[in-house]
Homo-oligomer: A and B are copies of this chain.
Protein backbone atom coordinates (compact mmCIF):
# COMPACT_ATOMS: atom_id res chain seq x y z
CA UNK A 1 0.00 0.00 0.00
CA UNK A 2 2.33 2.62 -1.23
CA UNK A 3 1.69 5.57 -3.55
CA UNK A 4 -1.70 4.12 -4.48
CA UNK A 5 -2.28 5.26 -8.04
CA UNK A 6 0.31 7.87 -8.88
CA UNK A 7 2.39 6.99 -11.93
CA UNK A 8 4.75 9.87 -11.20
CA UNK A 9 4.98 11.17 -14.76
CA UNK A 10 7.78 13.58 -14.03
CA UNK A 11 10.30 10.88 -13.27
CA UNK A 12 11.42 8.24 -15.63
CA UNK A 13 10.81 4.65 -14.78
CA UNK A 14 14.44 3.66 -14.65
CA UNK A 15 15.18 6.10 -11.88
CA UNK A 16 12.48 5.22 -9.42
CA UNK A 17 11.34 1.69 -10.22
CA UNK A 18 13.15 -1.54 -9.53
CA UNK A 19 16.54 -1.78 -11.19
CA UNK A 20 17.01 -4.50 -13.75
CA UNK A 21 20.55 -5.40 -12.82
CA UNK A 22 22.16 -5.83 -9.47
CA UNK A 23 24.52 -3.09 -8.36
CA UNK A 24 28.11 -4.25 -8.18
CA UNK A 25 30.45 -3.16 -5.44
CA UNK A 26 34.14 -3.47 -6.03
CA UNK A 27 35.73 -4.35 -2.71
CA UNK A 28 38.23 -1.93 -1.30
CA UNK A 29 41.64 -3.03 -0.15
CA UNK A 30 40.48 -2.66 3.43
CA UNK A 31 37.61 -5.03 2.70
CA UNK A 32 39.99 -7.67 1.44
CA UNK A 33 42.39 -7.28 4.32
CA UNK A 34 39.57 -7.46 6.83
CA UNK A 35 38.32 -10.74 5.39
CA UNK A 36 41.82 -12.13 5.53
CA UNK A 37 42.43 -11.10 9.11
CA UNK A 38 39.05 -12.34 10.28
CA UNK A 39 39.68 -15.67 8.62
CA UNK A 40 43.09 -15.91 10.26
CA UNK A 41 41.54 -15.31 13.66
CA UNK A 42 38.69 -17.71 13.04
CA UNK A 43 41.07 -20.31 11.72
CA UNK A 44 43.39 -20.01 14.70
CA UNK A 45 46.38 -18.77 12.74
CA UNK A 46 46.28 -15.58 14.77
CA UNK A 47 45.90 -16.97 18.24
CA UNK A 48 43.83 -15.24 20.93
CA UNK A 49 45.98 -12.96 22.99
CA UNK A 50 48.85 -12.92 20.52
CA UNK A 51 50.20 -9.61 19.38
CA UNK A 52 49.79 -8.52 15.78
CA UNK A 53 52.89 -6.71 14.63
CA UNK A 54 51.82 -4.33 11.95
CA UNK A 55 54.92 -4.35 9.78
CA UNK A 56 55.09 -8.12 9.72
CA UNK A 57 51.43 -8.73 8.90
CA UNK A 58 51.31 -5.89 6.41
CA UNK A 59 54.27 -7.39 4.58
CA UNK A 60 52.58 -10.78 4.46
CA UNK A 61 49.47 -9.18 3.03
CA UNK A 62 51.51 -7.28 0.51
CA UNK A 63 50.33 -3.85 1.62
CA UNK A 64 51.61 -0.98 3.66
CA UNK A 65 50.89 -0.39 7.31
CA UNK A 66 48.27 2.22 6.53
CA UNK A 67 45.57 0.01 5.02
CA UNK A 68 46.34 -2.68 7.57
CA UNK A 69 45.79 -0.30 10.44
CA UNK A 70 42.53 0.88 8.91
CA UNK A 71 41.35 -2.67 8.54
CA UNK A 72 42.40 -3.45 12.09
CA UNK A 73 40.05 -0.76 13.37
CA UNK A 74 37.16 -2.59 11.83
CA UNK A 75 38.10 -5.68 13.78
CA UNK A 76 38.54 -3.60 16.90
CA UNK A 77 34.99 -2.41 16.45
CA UNK A 78 33.96 -6.04 16.06
CA UNK A 79 35.70 -6.97 19.27
CA UNK A 80 38.11 -9.32 17.53
CA UNK A 81 41.18 -7.19 18.07
CA UNK A 82 42.11 -4.94 20.96
CA UNK A 83 44.51 -2.03 21.08
CA UNK A 84 46.46 -0.46 23.87
CA UNK A 85 47.93 2.93 23.05
CA UNK A 86 51.56 2.47 22.26
CA UNK A 87 51.36 -1.30 22.59
CA UNK A 88 49.65 -1.95 19.30
CA UNK A 89 47.24 -4.68 18.33
CA UNK A 90 46.43 -7.96 19.99
CA UNK A 91 43.95 -10.64 19.12
CA UNK A 92 41.13 -10.44 21.64
CA UNK A 93 40.82 -13.00 24.37
CA UNK A 94 37.44 -14.12 25.64
CA UNK A 95 37.93 -15.72 28.98
CA UNK A 96 35.74 -16.96 31.80
CA UNK A 97 34.44 -13.53 32.67
CA UNK A 98 33.19 -12.74 29.20
CA UNK A 99 31.71 -16.02 28.03
CA UNK A 100 28.38 -15.41 29.71
CA UNK A 101 28.09 -12.04 28.05
CA UNK A 102 28.86 -13.49 24.63
CA UNK A 103 26.39 -16.33 24.80
CA UNK A 104 23.67 -14.04 26.09
CA UNK A 105 24.18 -11.94 22.98
CA UNK A 106 24.00 -15.03 20.82
CA UNK A 107 20.80 -16.03 22.57
CA UNK A 108 19.30 -12.66 21.76
CA UNK A 109 20.15 -12.94 18.08
CA UNK A 110 19.55 -16.60 17.49
CA UNK A 111 16.52 -16.67 19.75
CA UNK A 112 15.01 -13.96 17.61
CA UNK A 113 15.91 -15.93 14.51
CA UNK A 114 14.14 -19.10 15.61
CA UNK A 115 11.13 -17.05 16.68
CA UNK A 116 10.92 -15.45 13.28
CA UNK A 117 11.37 -18.74 11.48
CA UNK A 118 8.84 -20.49 13.68
CA UNK A 119 6.33 -17.76 13.03
CA UNK A 120 6.33 -18.14 9.27
CA UNK A 121 3.56 -19.94 7.46
CA UNK A 122 4.19 -23.59 6.85
CA UNK A 123 5.33 -23.28 3.25
CA UNK A 124 8.02 -20.70 3.89
CA UNK A 125 8.97 -22.41 7.12
CA UNK A 126 9.65 -25.63 5.27
CA UNK A 127 11.70 -23.76 2.68
CA UNK A 128 13.93 -21.97 5.17
CA UNK A 129 14.25 -25.06 7.30
CA UNK A 130 15.44 -26.90 4.22
CA UNK A 131 18.36 -24.54 3.93
CA UNK A 132 19.30 -25.14 7.51
CA UNK A 133 18.77 -28.87 7.17
CA UNK A 134 21.64 -28.98 4.73
CA UNK A 135 23.84 -27.48 7.41
CA UNK A 136 22.61 -30.06 9.90
CA UNK A 137 23.55 -32.76 7.42
CA UNK A 138 27.01 -31.25 7.17
CA UNK A 139 27.28 -31.32 10.94
CA UNK A 140 26.18 -34.95 10.97
CA UNK A 141 28.79 -35.96 8.45
CA UNK A 142 31.46 -34.03 10.32
CA UNK A 143 30.58 -35.92 13.48
CA UNK A 144 30.47 -39.12 11.45
CA UNK A 145 33.97 -38.52 10.14
CA UNK A 146 35.02 -37.76 13.67
CA UNK A 147 38.60 -36.92 12.95
CA UNK A 148 39.05 -33.59 14.60
CA UNK A 149 36.93 -31.34 16.73
CA UNK A 150 37.64 -28.26 14.66
CA UNK A 151 35.73 -29.55 11.69
CA UNK A 152 32.78 -30.31 13.92
CA UNK A 153 33.09 -26.88 15.46
CA UNK A 154 33.06 -25.31 12.02
CA UNK A 155 29.90 -27.16 11.04
CA UNK A 156 28.30 -26.25 14.35
CA UNK A 157 28.97 -22.55 13.90
CA UNK A 158 27.98 -22.70 10.25
CA UNK A 159 24.61 -24.02 11.30
CA UNK A 160 24.02 -21.30 13.85
CA UNK A 161 25.07 -18.68 11.34
CA UNK A 162 22.79 -20.14 8.72
CA UNK A 163 19.92 -20.05 11.16
CA UNK A 164 20.23 -16.30 11.44
CA UNK A 165 21.03 -15.80 7.77
CA UNK A 166 17.86 -17.62 6.76
CA UNK A 167 15.80 -14.87 8.37
CA UNK A 168 17.05 -12.57 5.62
CA UNK A 169 17.99 -9.82 8.04
CA UNK A 170 21.27 -8.30 6.94
CA UNK A 171 22.10 -6.55 10.19
CA UNK A 172 21.50 -9.56 12.38
CA UNK A 173 23.39 -11.75 9.94
CA UNK A 174 26.40 -9.47 10.06
CA UNK A 175 26.28 -9.33 13.83
CA UNK A 176 25.87 -13.09 14.05
CA UNK A 177 29.00 -13.42 11.99
CA UNK A 178 30.86 -11.33 14.52
CA UNK A 179 29.52 -13.33 17.43
CA UNK A 180 30.43 -16.58 15.68
CA UNK A 181 34.04 -15.51 15.37
CA UNK A 182 34.00 -14.44 19.01
CA UNK A 183 32.67 -17.85 19.90
CA UNK A 184 35.60 -19.40 18.13
CA UNK A 185 37.92 -17.09 20.02
CA UNK A 186 36.33 -18.18 23.27
CA UNK A 187 36.83 -21.83 22.34
CA UNK A 188 40.44 -21.21 21.38
CA UNK A 189 40.98 -19.25 24.58
CA UNK A 190 39.95 -22.24 26.65
CA UNK A 191 43.00 -23.77 28.31
CA UNK A 192 41.94 -27.34 27.50
CA UNK A 193 41.59 -26.56 23.83
CA UNK A 194 38.76 -27.38 21.53
CA UNK A 195 36.14 -29.68 22.98
CA UNK A 196 32.90 -30.81 21.43
CA UNK A 197 29.94 -31.91 23.46
CA UNK A 198 28.72 -35.43 23.07
CA UNK A 199 25.09 -34.59 22.48
CA UNK A 200 25.72 -31.98 19.82
CA UNK A 201 23.64 -33.80 17.23
CA UNK A 202 20.71 -34.33 19.58
CA UNK A 203 20.60 -30.67 20.46
CA UNK A 204 20.61 -29.43 16.91
CA UNK A 205 18.17 -32.03 15.68
CA UNK A 206 15.78 -30.98 18.41
CA UNK A 207 16.30 -27.33 17.58
CA UNK A 208 15.59 -27.79 13.91
CA UNK A 209 12.60 -30.01 14.58
CA UNK A 210 11.07 -27.44 16.91
CA UNK A 211 11.59 -24.68 14.37
CA UNK A 212 10.03 -26.80 11.67
CA UNK A 213 7.04 -27.49 13.86
CA UNK A 214 6.65 -23.82 14.62
CA UNK A 215 7.46 -24.31 18.29
CA UNK A 216 9.18 -21.01 18.93
CA UNK A 217 9.24 -21.26 22.70
CA UNK A 218 10.60 -24.78 22.62
CA UNK A 219 13.33 -23.83 20.19
CA UNK A 220 14.33 -20.91 22.41
CA UNK A 221 14.43 -23.16 25.44
CA UNK A 222 16.67 -25.59 23.57
CA UNK A 223 18.99 -22.77 22.58
CA UNK A 224 19.02 -21.34 26.08
CA UNK A 225 19.78 -24.65 27.74
CA UNK A 226 22.43 -25.51 25.17
CA UNK A 227 24.16 -22.18 25.60
CA UNK A 228 23.92 -22.35 29.37
CA UNK A 229 25.72 -25.68 29.46
CA UNK A 230 28.34 -24.48 27.04
CA UNK A 231 28.97 -21.41 29.15
CA UNK A 232 29.35 -23.54 32.24
CA UNK A 233 31.76 -25.73 30.36
CA UNK A 234 33.85 -22.83 29.15
CA UNK A 235 33.86 -21.37 32.63
CA UNK A 236 35.22 -24.62 33.94
CA UNK A 237 32.24 -25.43 36.09
CA UNK A 238 30.98 -28.36 34.10
CA UNK A 239 32.49 -31.34 32.38
CA UNK A 240 29.67 -33.84 32.28
CA UNK A 241 28.01 -33.52 28.87
CA UNK A 242 31.35 -32.73 27.33
CA UNK A 243 33.21 -35.97 27.62
CA UNK A 244 35.66 -36.04 24.82
CA UNK A 245 33.76 -38.63 22.86
CA UNK A 246 31.11 -37.51 20.46
CA UNK A 247 29.39 -40.52 19.06
CA UNK A 248 32.45 -42.64 18.46
CA UNK A 249 32.46 -46.13 19.87
CA UNK A 250 36.11 -46.61 20.70
CA UNK A 251 36.27 -43.87 23.25
CA UNK A 252 38.97 -41.87 21.55
CA UNK A 253 37.89 -38.30 21.68
CA UNK A 254 37.57 -35.16 19.76
CA UNK A 255 39.55 -33.10 22.18
CA UNK A 256 41.74 -31.11 19.93
CA UNK A 257 44.14 -28.43 20.88
CA UNK A 258 44.88 -26.26 17.88
CA UNK A 259 47.45 -24.39 19.91
CA UNK A 260 49.67 -27.43 20.17
Contact partners of A172 in chain B: CB under 8 A: 104-105, 108
Question: Is there contact, CB below 8 Å, between B30 and A101?
Answer: no
Question: Which residue in B70, B108, B170 is a CB contact (below 8 Å) of A70?
Answer: B70
- Complex Cα–Cα for A228 and B235 (A): 39
Contact partners of A74 in chain B: CB under 8 A: 73-74, 76-77
Question: Chain copies in the assembly?
Answer: 2
Instruction: Say yes or no: is A79 at the interface (Cβ < 8 Å to chain B).
Output: yes
Contact A171 B101, CB 8 Å, known A112-B111, A112-B112:
yes
Instruction: Say yes or no: is A2 at the interface (Cβ < 8 Å to chain B).
Output: yes
Q: How far is the CB of A206 from chain B (nearest CB, A)?
A: 21
Q: How far is the CB of A146 from chain B (nearest CB, A)?
A: 31
Q: List 24 A-B contacts (CB under 8 A).
A: A1-B237, A2-B235, A2-B236, A2-B237, A3-B236, A25-B84, A66-B66, A70-B70, A71-B73, A73-B77, A74-B76, A77-B77, A77-B78, A79-B171, A102-B171, A104-B112, A104-B167, A104-B169, A105-B169, A105-B171, A105-B172, A108-B109, A108-B111, A175-B175
